[in-house]
Structure 1
Amino acid sequence: MLLAMALTLWSSIFLIIKVGYCYVNLSRKKGTVASQSSTHEGAFLASRSIDGNKGQTYRECSHTALGHSIAWFQVDLGGEYSLESVKIYYRNDANWCPYRFRQFYLDVSNGSAGSTTTLTSQRKRCYKDNTTALATPPSVIDISCKETARYVIVETTYNAQEAIYLNLSGPVLEICEIEVYGCSVGRYGESCSRCHGCSTCDIISGACPCSDTCVNSACNTSNEYCTEGCITGYWGKMCKSQCSQYCIGNTCEQGNGMCTTGCADFYYGYTCEHQCDPQYSPRSCDRVTGVCSGCNTGYYSQFCNRTCSPYCKSGTCDAHNGHCNGGCKTNWAGDLCENK
């Protein structure tokens, strides 16, 4: 009994260790670049935060300048990655607590923080600190951030002058080291090996996510194919395509999207993608060909898209061939009254 408990404990410890170290620190890979909104004294560069030194004293940290309305710091990974977590080491000298770190937020995005074309709405927020004076956030903070993005952005508008022990102007960031953990998009596991047949997968197990448009959210996790069919309104192997809005009952075949119960009034085609001509009378047509069941007065042809001659004596013509009913007006002749 004791042996079994011991084995279980060691298995749990092994799993924790394995999971804890299964991601790559993307901040330290070749091509990763750190930048910030401004640089204090022109010397406390953003690159200090990705040099591998986890020291938290003044001279070891990056530092934005005073006197601005916003301070931001970002890591550019050079491309999209599947992120897992972000760990931040903030300045924490013996007599200098992380006052300036209050109210910061962590966003990820595919647009740079410094780009005028990147909107806040295009970011995804992983964390927002709500610490108020006199309390301070932890100087080392590990944040879960399971997103896919290129840029990791730390930002603040908090004015540290609110702290009673400081007399400073404007928001400031002092980041000593930042570690961004994750894998390349489409990879997972201890060595970030490839997913099994899907574009994105669980970063630990490699399992493909099942779409919530699968019946009972059930799918083959190796390829994302729904195993119990699609919920109403969707079709395809992964149930990600929507049935035509003109399918009666919003239902269609899972394999090809063909409307299973016919088309709404005025529409035709296998997926009800075509609209019957407005001159059909009544406005209905063959489900497959679109051939009309009858034309409005003054129109003819199988699609009712031709007008009767204006020289038909009665103003009407045969719905199939356009021959004028009742002959032609004076001075006109021919089956379609086309000859003067």
Structure 2
Amino acid sequence: MSMKIFVLLLVVTEVCGFVNLVNPQSFKRWVTMGAKPQYPNWEAIKAVDGNTNQSYEFDSCAITDIDVNCNTSIWWMVLLESKFNIAYLEIYFRSDTFSRSTGFSIYTYDTENSYPLRDPKRLVYHHNPLFGCPAPIQNVTINYVTQGLLFTNERPQGYTSNCPGDNLMCTAVELCEIKVMGCEQSRFSPGCSRSCPSKCKNQHCDAFNGSCKHGCSNPNALTVDCTENIECEYGMYIQNKTCVQCGHCKDGVACNKSTGRCDNGCENNLTGNFCINNEEMASDLKFYVPIVSLAVFLAIAVGVVIYQRRQISVTPLQSAPAESTNQQKQKTNTPHYINLVFTEEGHEYRSLNIVE
């Protein structure tokens, strides 16, 4: 029955985009949240009832009580009927309090007994509270084949936020609708009109472009697009779809054709996974590099000192102001004396010359 409903939705949405995988026609297995609703009509299932009205007055939102129960951690989750290739989410927050959803995170999970919060690989999105408020209608890219989705929010000790209106102490579920947009697990593209390539692992692919982002069905495939027709000569390996020379592996054995690593070790004093680093050369460099660095530093320091001293010694002499004509005439017949100092063989001689 569910597959018939999916095919019907596929036909209807092929032109306009991905399929909403949670809808009133029972694509969800169960929906729940981590606290009681503030009012009975604001239960968890209201976030996937197909009603995108963002006002609490219409009883179309899932809302927990933030005023009576100050929760520092809260969650809402949905488990779909089976795994789907989920492209993105459309999250409709309660319009008058969407700022209180700042800092939320989205995780994926696959069974009712999963604990996604314990596995950081399951985190697909985190809203940074330092970047301000979320949008009242927020799109979140998932691009992952999964069965369950978890919305969670926390207010840990020391929590800070740059979103005006955010509650720094407590958090709550205030979700009016979550649209889970995607395709059946082996299809992709808007409208879900295309099948994932069989060369992709489990025939799971990128929801948007169909690439084998989850791996290849053939474990010997050597490239990211799972092609198998690239062959390299002995002693070479594939890197970025081209053949690259191996390092110096032990006993002349070729490196791993997929990774380029020397799985059995390196020749002589070579080190590293790819056997291209010389141990002796590295040891010499460790000895000489500090010496060369010190020499360069001292040379620079001496150069700076010499430069500064030259700048001081080259300070221009200031010329005396020109004397008036009368002063020059008065001094014409007045002798004056200039002391000259001569130094020769360490003896100092002084003479007195009269200048007329």
Say yes or no: does 1:148 pair with 2:152. no
Q: Are the counterparts in 2 of residues 82 and 146 from structure 1 also a CA contact under 8 Å?
A: yes
Partner of 2:198: 197
Q: Are the counterparts in 1 of residues 144 and 207 from structure 2 also a CA contact under 8 Å?
A: no
Partner of 1:187: 187
Higher relative contact order (CA 8 A, sep 6+): 2
> Which consecutive residues of structure 2, in runs of 5 or more, have no partner in the other structure?
1-12, 240-251, 259-263, 266-356
- 2:52 alignment partner AA: K
1:116/1:42 CA distance change after superposition, 3 Å? farther
Say yes or no: does 1:26 pair with 2:28. no
**Counterparts of 2:168 and 2:61 in 1: how far apart (Å)?**
18
Partner of 1:41: 38
Q: Secondary structure at the match of 2:80?
A: strand
Instruction: Please report how far the alpha carbon of residue 21 of structure 1 lies from its aligned counterpart in structure 2 after TM superposition.
Output: 3.1
Q: Secondary structure at the match of 2:100?
A: helix
Deviations 1:178-200 (A, max 9, x none): 00111122112324453342412
Q: Are the counterparts in 1 of residues 155 and 170 from structure 2 also a CA contact under 8 Å?
A: yes
Q: Are the counterparts in 2 of residues 86 and 144 from structure 1 also a CA contact under 8 Å?
A: yes
Say yes or no: does 1:81 pair with 2:67. no
- 1:227 alignment partner AA: N
**Counterparts of 2:149 and 2:75 in 1: how far apart (Å)?**
10
Partner of 1:63: 63
1:30/1:136 CA distance change after superposition, 3 Å? same
State the TM-score, normalizing by the size of structure 2.
Answer: 0.50
Partner of 1:239: none
Q: Are the counterparts in 2 of residues 72 and 155 from structure 1 also a CA contact under 8 Å?
A: yes
**Counterparts in 2 of 1:81-120, with a 5 A limit?**
81-92=84-95, 96-112=96-112, 115=113, 117-120=115-118
**Counterparts of 1:197 and 1:116 in 2: how far apart (Å)?**
29
Instruction: Please report how far the alpha carbon of residue 168 of structure 1 lies from its aligned counterpart in structure 2 after TM superposition.
Output: 9.1
1:75/1:229 CA distance change after superposition, 3 Å? farther
Partner of 2:254: 249
**Counterparts of 1:111 and 1:69 in 2: how far apart (Å)?**
25
Q: Are the counterparts in 2 of residues 109 and 122 from structure 1 also a CA contact under 8 Å?
A: no
**Counterparts of 1:25 and 1:54 in 2: how far apart (Å)?**
13
Q: Are the counterparts in 1 of residues 85 and 185 from structure 2 also a CA contact under 8 Å?
A: yes
1:196/1:50 CA distance change after superposition, 3 Å? same
Which stretch of the first structure deviates more once superposed, 158-167 or 30-39? 158-167
1:186/1:165 CA distance change after superposition, 3 Å? closer
Q: Secondary structure at the match of 2:62?
A: coil
Deviations 1:266-322 (A, max 9, x none): xxxxxxxxxxxxxxxxxxxxxxxxxxxxxxxxxxxxxxxxxxxxxxxxxxxxxxxxx
**Counterparts of 1:180 and 1:111 in 2: how far apart (Å)?**
17
Q: Secondary structure at the match of 1:99?
A: helix
Identity of matched residues, %: 18
**Counterparts of 1:80 and 1:69 in 2: how far apart (Å)?**
31
1:99/1:201 CA distance change after superposition, 3 Å? closer
Instruction: Please report how far the alpha carbon of residue 24 of structure 1 lies from its aligned counterpart in structure 2 after TM superposition.
Output: 1.1
Q: Are the counterparts in 2 of residues 218 and 226 from structure 1 also a CA contact under 8 Å?
A: no
Instruction: Please report how far the alpha carbon of residue 110 of structure 1 lies from its aligned counterpart in structure 2 after TM superposition.
Output: 2.1
> Which consecutive residues of structure 1, in runs of 5 or more, have no partner in the other structure?
1-17, 235-246, 255-262, 265-340
1:188/1:143 CA distance change after superposition, 3 Å? same
Q: Are the counterparts in 1 of residues 14 and 193 from structure 2 also a CA contact under 8 Å?
A: no
Which stretch of the first structure deviates more once superposed, 188-197 or 68-77? 188-197
RMSD value, Cα: 4.3
Q: Secondary structure at the match of 2:176?
A: strand
Instruction: Please report how far the alpha carbon of residue 47 of structure 1 lies from its aligned counterpart in structure 2 after TM superposition.
Output: 0.7
**Counterparts of 2:180 and 2:188 in 1: how far apart (Å)?**
15
Q: Secondary structure at the match of 2:103?
A: coil
Instruction: Please report how far the alpha carbon of residue 127 of structure 1 lies from its aligned counterpart in structure 2 after TM superposition.
Output: 1.8
Deviations 1:229-256 (A, max 9, x none): 378499xxxxxxxxxxxx943457x9xx
1:123/1:192 CA distance change after superposition, 3 Å? farther
1:142/1:20 CA distance change after superposition, 3 Å? farther
Q: Secondary structure at the match of 1:48?
A: helix
**Counterparts of 1:203 and 1:166 in 2: how far apart (Å)?**
34
**Counterparts of 1:105 and 1:226 in 2: how far apart (Å)?**
39
Q: Secondary structure at the match of 1:49?
A: helix
- 1:100 alignment partner AA: R
Larger Rg: 2
1:166/1:184 CA distance change after superposition, 3 Å? closer
